A and B are shown apart, each in its own frame.
Chain A
Amino acid sequence: MKIIGTPRRRVDARAKVTGQTRFADDIMLPRMLHCKLLRSSVPHARLVRVDTARALAHRGVHLVLTGKDFPVPYGILPVSQDEHALAVDRVRFVGDPVAAVIARDEATAVEALDLIDVEYEPLRTFSNPDDSLAHDEPRIHDYGDGGNIHKAVSLGFGDVEQAFADADLVFEDTFFYQGNTHLPIEQHAAVAAKDPDGKLVLWSSTQTPHYVHRALAKTLDLPAAHIRVIATPNGGGFGGKSDPFNHELVVCKAAWLLDRPVKICLTREEVFYCHRGRHPVLMRFKTGVKRDGTITGVHLKTVLDGGAYGSYGVASTFYTGALQTVTYHIPTYHFQGCRVFTNKPPCGPKRGHGTPQSRFGQEIQLDKIAEKLQLDPAQYRLRIVEQPETLTANYLHVGTIGLSECIRRIVRTSDWTNKFRKLPRGRGVGLACSSYLSGAGLPIYYNDMPHSGVQLKLDRSGGVTAFCGATEIGQGSDDVLVACVAEVLGIDPHDIRPVTGDTDLTPVDLGSYSSRVTLMMGNAAIQAAERARDLLSEAVSRKLEISKDRLVFAERRVFDAEDPAKGVAFKDAVCLAEAMFGTLGTVGSYTPPRSAARYKGGGVGPSPTYSYSAAIVEVEVDPSTGWIQVPRVWIAHDIGRALNPTLVRGQVEGGVYMGLGEALMEEQEFRRLPPRLSRALVHKFPSMLEYKSPTTLDMPEVFTELVENPDPRGPFGAKEVGQGPLLPIMPAVANAVYDAIGVRIDEVPITPEKIVKALQAQAAGKTPRFGPTHFPDVPWPETLNVPPPWEGGDGKATPEAESLRSRPRDSAAVRGERGWGPARIKK
């Protein structure tokens, strides 16, 4: 282990510090044209007429496209094919693309946008989930679980009502998690061209070139083999570049029709409209505990504000309920989740995908439980941490768990025992924990093929080229790829050229989402490298006349373990092997193990293994103004094994940073325009100035601890780090605020205004809290009952449940019976 585990300069660092990394907008091609999109100015309307004649006649305009040019719908999930590159007959939010102009330069294209005449027939606007739940008509989409419900699910694992009856105490709390957005500094950009052979090429800042490839083949009706998608290095992704996007399809179509390169670079305002960010989630947690804190059962209900399209929303819905059981032992569990459509930019996956919201609620509730039971929150969690190598109530197989060690480390380094409930008023500490997937166990579309493939080319130069479809979004996937290969072959990472994210050149990797790349690509890379090492060993062992198992690959040499002087240079080893076997190349691939969850909905949550984090946040709150500052954060992350500790620490600190943004200031908020301007529902502040995010001045000192307990399922024992460390931050801040001033803020962002309101309630002798109380009435479907493993279950739903499930549901009738009315989701 020479390379693995050593803090190293990443392989692509030089390109980045010299400004030579080629992002999508840095691509300039001869004869290139520029594209701009006309976006809807109304939130919900039937599209009556789109007249492009004047725009087309404008000097310098080459092409104008509308929804007619894109009859085929698409969407990231097979079950939600509800998007069109340009609106066909309906617009669903302010910012929904309606038409596209392709012109000689951006300025001309912008001028021509003004010359497109659009006639809208307004429809009722749905601005929040209560609206959408209260009115079935008009439907924003004509699919889903009835009315404006996109997806409603109910999963039962054991008898949770009995568990509450058996409990000594039952806690019920309502939380709200505001939506927020990724805000990558790089605006989405794409360039499309027809290559000299007449095939289509797209360069795009996408995290998922494979899925974009599929969407292009479908919507443009071209053979996939004639389309090449190249993911340029992303200038930040965080989940915001994981859907196929309108602008990608539009420039491809335009380049195809015009036979000239076409570029688009979105404005910052448009990036806010692309969104796919954190869903606003209202949730209610009901938890039963014994006197010693043991959890008897949990019932979680969530309502997600999905925005105008499906995106990853079905998965997001399940994710709000999937991972509770992975962190703490929960013997009975009932999860109900509902995602509704509203007339806002679509929500989707942001770092932590669907899990931070309910993590927030659960960790605050545990803090409340610990206080009631007079337990230290750290000691309490140590008592209830899930057991490693077990199957949870919802059939997720948990691998190694370093959470207890994480908790112990931060308790020590932060001096928790001398701070918790002991700091003067206005200062406080709070603790929270979390877990996250090391890669989704199932692909987005059903298939039995590998999730990641790596191909190696070795030749007589001694150089190695590693090909993989994985996408470099800043996280360091290229570095992981070369590090794994270099470690096995005993060469330097800089001897290896990574070629990644190119659907023509590289084997499929599903993309940079769900924290899957290190584990899946890493394992594929090791397999390919071991196969190469076998070939080289064969040749060298014959040459040196020693057995293969005595050979060591290190220091760019292959030598005898018992006599290190006896050996050959790596380059010569390759030559020997090339002479012996012919041209050298190997492949490796990775497919996750089959999940034990066999019920409908059990496809979301399984992962080869899970990472764990624990954090302690210190806050300073001014009790008169509510002003809140975070001077210090201690975080420990169970990484399994740190392949490159410099990068791992960067991911942890970046996660803490983004978590603090969500905890304290970031909000994807909406407002109505004043009546004289149409009252349209618009994004409150689609700008980086008004969408507040932490600057260098806001960032606390972060003390990072890496807990290394190698997991046999990970490459060299590694688990994920890209998403997990964000998760405990928001609840830890909320718990710290309570420690500081004795008020509960049960929603994010935790702003001075909310703190002041809670302090006023405290002073008036009312419940010292700010947060939601109401939870809307949702027409939940029949619960799918899945007996947990300890009740003899086999991962499948009980037959009665299956038959109920398959009965067609008359949503209107269900509603009629319940007669639920409008309610407010916020405050």
Chain B
Amino acid sequence: MVAQAIAQATAEAITYPAVGAALDIEGVSHAFDIDGATLPVLDNVNLAIAPGEFVALLGPSGCGKSTLLRLVAGLEKPRAGALREDEVRITGPHPSRVVVFQDPTLFPWRSVWDNAALGLEAQGILKTQRHRVDAVLELVGLTSFRNAYPHQLSGGMAQRVALARALVNDPKILVLDEPLGKLDSLTRISMQAELVALWQRKGFTTLLVTHDVEEALVLANRVIVLSDRPARITADIAVDRPYPRHRGDPYLAGLRKQILGLLGLEATW
């Protein structure tokens, strides 16, 4: 099924459908106040993402990746600079920019199906769009768990429900904060393929945070490397390879070495 989806997707991959939105991050700086002291987290981040691009963010733990995603989502306002979606300044959350958070944060009082339906229900369109929930649960392979409650799911299944809950909204920008972090390596590889297939089919702009350099290289058009806190962009690397990509690709291996070097891990390679 996965291979089929990829094959089908690659055929359409040459031109992006015009669903994705452009995302501009202009001179964004952010800081938190902890016990009266100011903790700078983002330092003048500039990033222009074209519609339909797949951008991966790599950086050391605690450097400010999740914070940047919260700003993109509109959950917080930056201390300086501006973020724009299709030239329109982001001032608050909007369902066109959906986030899959680092923790699945499923609502424990809702069944899997009801969790996935959350966005449609919040926007008041669930009554006419129930089939979308069914379709997206099928996509993440959880149809048989539609009536289960979150405490009955494994960590990986919960993460898949969180992904389904985001995808059901047909976002223009999909923001992913280590969405595959809790999956076992097999499920992870198949979910990566599903993600690429989905992205190619739907054409949304994707911003993915990951700790896994290989994952970034297999999935993204473009890899952004961030410095230690406060995060600055230290490298902006285009990954110009067709999909489906192979993990053993020597071109990707070269990029991997370069990126690990930027992250200060050259010796371990």
* A and B are interacting partners: no
Residues of B within 8 A of A (CB): none
Residues of A within 8 A of B (CB): none
